[in-house]
Structures are given as structure tokens and as C-alpha cells.
Amino acid sequence: MMRLQGACVLIGQTQTMNSVHTKLRRRFKQAVRDLRGFRKAIAALISTDHPLLAHLIPVRRCNLACKYCNEYDDFSKPVSTEVMFARVDKLHKLGTSVITISGGEPLLHPELDQIITRIRRHGMIAGMITNGYLLVPERIKQLNHAGLEWLQISIDNVIPDEVSKKSLKVLDKKLQILAEHAEFHVNINSVVGGGVHNPEDALTIGQRALELGFSSTVGIIHDGQGQLQPLGELERRVYHAMKALEKRSFTRINAFQDNIALGRPNQWRCRAGARYLYVCEDGLVHYCSQQRGYPAIPLEKYSLEDIRREFLTEKSCAPHCTVSCVHQVSIVDSWRAPQRPAPQTTEATGLVEIK
């Protein structure tokens, strides 16, 4: 009995030491990433001729089927690793600062770690958006080793329902193992709008994220065209309470989303196609996940000329857009280079064409 107790104490001590070790490594990596991020921010201010963020899709298939989502299917094969390498190399050539791997569910790609390592070898910052279902301790350690720098999980509700199975009840265990093993930054995004039954769930999720040492953000679910779904009274209250939580966790205050919550349009210059690229599984560059179909130029042919044209092209969908990552990227250039309306060609007027 005494021996058994001794063994338990020893296991407990080893786990605590491992956890302290993971936390120290996470802090060290965070400091290095902040320094690299600072250098990339300076480069962004100096020149507008390169993308700051690209979303790259290695597989369109997803293991879930959220009702509001138009970014997945249940049959696509993963893009071959060689092709993904060529896309990463091309994004590096274009001067991209950050690549976020998303999907579908990116963890369904069998050689995801090699793609992450390729991004890091080029000196770009590597992030990933996942539903978290496939995370286990061993997989998290592999992602540490591959060089993943930040990860975001979006959690939609506390109890799974017919709209979404990305719920705290199912994912809390995954969050705990992330807190224990991940050496990368973890952000938990919760959402309001879009048919989420209990808006107050977002607060429960945000508080749990902070409790585990993660950052927490809140998004407003957009419709099929990335446009505003006006929030009800309770949703607005929850949204503002969440924004207060974000401030405590030092997450960027997003004035754009504050306006969206109030149903007001935003005046801003969307730099999609220039500072932000969405590269689909077919290797085409689109404005964003909600404006697939334009400019739809193959990445291998994407040039400085395309970047310069799109930087100056006004996006008619901008006033009610809810795609927050493009908002945030575009802030860098909000003070310069006014845009002009898109040329009235067939392609430009048929802007929304999600396949």
C-alpha cells in the first residue's frame, strides 16, 4: 500500500514537472515569436507589396458538419504534400508573413506536420485553425515538434446540438490536454449569432479558456456571403461582456466587430487579394473564404501586379463584412492608399461565388 502511494506521488510529481517544463518552453517560444512578429510588423509598414496573412487549405473534408458552415465537404481527398510544399514555397516567394492552415479539418491531412515544418523553414509564422476533435497528447507533441506556433479552436456551444457539435462538453478534455502539452499559443474563439441557441454559452466558454491559460476571442457568425447577421438584444449583451473578457486577456479590441454587433456598417479598406490571400484546395487565390470565385487566379501565377491591383481595389461587400481576420490584417494600411471601385467586368460584378 505504502509503495503504491509512493508511486502515485512520484507520477504526480513527474506530471507537475512536465507541465512546468511545457509552460517554460511555451513562454520562451512566445517571446521568440513576438520578436519575429515585431520584425514582420515593421516590414509591413515599410512595404505594401507582400501578403501579411494567407489561409491555406490542405484538405476540404471535415469530420464534423456544422449547420452554418460553407467551408467543408465529406468526401475530398487531401491535397498531395508535394503540391502543398509548392504552394508554401510560392507564398514565401510572395513575401507572406504568416500562414494559417485551415480547412475543412486540417488534422485530417496525413502529412500536416511536414507542411508546418516547411512553413517554419522559410521563416514564416505557422498557425492552424482546427475543431480540436483529433487532438491527443501524442498529436500535440508532434505539432510542437513540427514548429506550430499558434492554434485556434472555435467552440460554438456548451452542449452539442443540431447546429454544432463543437461544444465545451465534448472539447473540454481536449483543452485540458492542450494546457498540459502544447508549447504553442492557444486561442479559443466563441461565437454569437447564426442560430446558436444559448448566447450566454459564449461567456462560459471564454471564462473556461482564460482559466486554462489560453486567450479568448469572440466572433459573430456570418451568413453564406460573409455578411452581417444582426444580433438580438441578449446576443449583443453577451458580445460586449466577451469583449470585456478579451481586454483582460490582452486580445485586440476590434472596433469593427463592435459596429457589426450594433448592426452598423463599417467604413474600411479591405485589402483581400493583396495583404490577405485565401488559397483553396485547388490552389486558386480568392479574396476570402466568403468570396470564393474572385479573383480565382492560380497561386503559381499570382504576381506582384495582382497584389498591387487588389490592394487598390474597393470590395463592395466591405461595409457588412464579418470576416474578422481580414479586418485585422487591413488595419495596418487603413491610413494609406485609398481604393477605387472594381472594374465592371463580368468577373468583378459576380463577386460572390462560393463553390
Residues 231-270 that bind ligand SF4 (CB under 6 A): 270
Inter-residue contact 66 to 164 (CB < 8 Å): yes
Of the two residues 150 and 256, which places its CB atom closer to ligand SF4 in the complex?
256
Using CB under 6 A as the binding rule, whether residue 69 contacts ligand SF4 is answered as yes
163 sits near ligand SF4 (criterion: CB under 6 A): no
- Residue 296 three-state SS: strand
Number of amino acids touching ligand SF4 (CB under 6 A): 25
DSSP string, 96-119: --EEEE-SS-GGGSTTHHHHHHHH
Q: Which of 26, 72, 128, 184 binds ligand SF4 (CB under 6 A)?
A: 72
Q: Binding string, 22-61, against ligand SF4, x = CB under 6 A?
A: ----------------------------------------
Does residue 317 bind ligand SF4 (CB under 6 A)?
A: yes
Closest to ligand SF4 by CB, 44 vs 323, is 323
Q: Per residue in 320-339, is it b (16+ CB within 10 Å) or e — as a string? A: bbbbbbbbbbbbebeeeeeb
CA distances from 176 to 105, 214, 285 (A): 20, 11, 36
List of residues 6+ apart from 102 with CB closer than 8 A: 55, 56, 57, 71, 128, 129
CA torsion, ordered 170, 323, 232, 194, to nearest 10 deg: -50
Q: How far is the CB of 311 from ligand SF4 (least distance, A)?
A: 12
Cα–Cα distance measured from residue 77 to residue 110, given in angstroms and rounded to the nearest whole number:
10
Q: Does the footprint of ligand SF4 cover residue 219 (CB under 6 A)?
A: no
Q: Pick from 25, 71, 207, 328 the residue near ligand SF4 by CB under 6 A.
A: 71
Residue 272 is a binding residue for ligand SF4 (CB under 6 A): yes
* Phi, psi for residue 306 in degrees, rounded to 5: -65, -45
Q: Does 193 bind ligand SF4 (CB under 6 A)?
A: no
- Chain residues that interact with ligand SF4, rule: CB under 6 A: 62, 64-66, 69, 71-72, 103-105, 131, 166, 226, 270, 272, 287-288, 290-291, 315, 317-318, 321, 323, 326
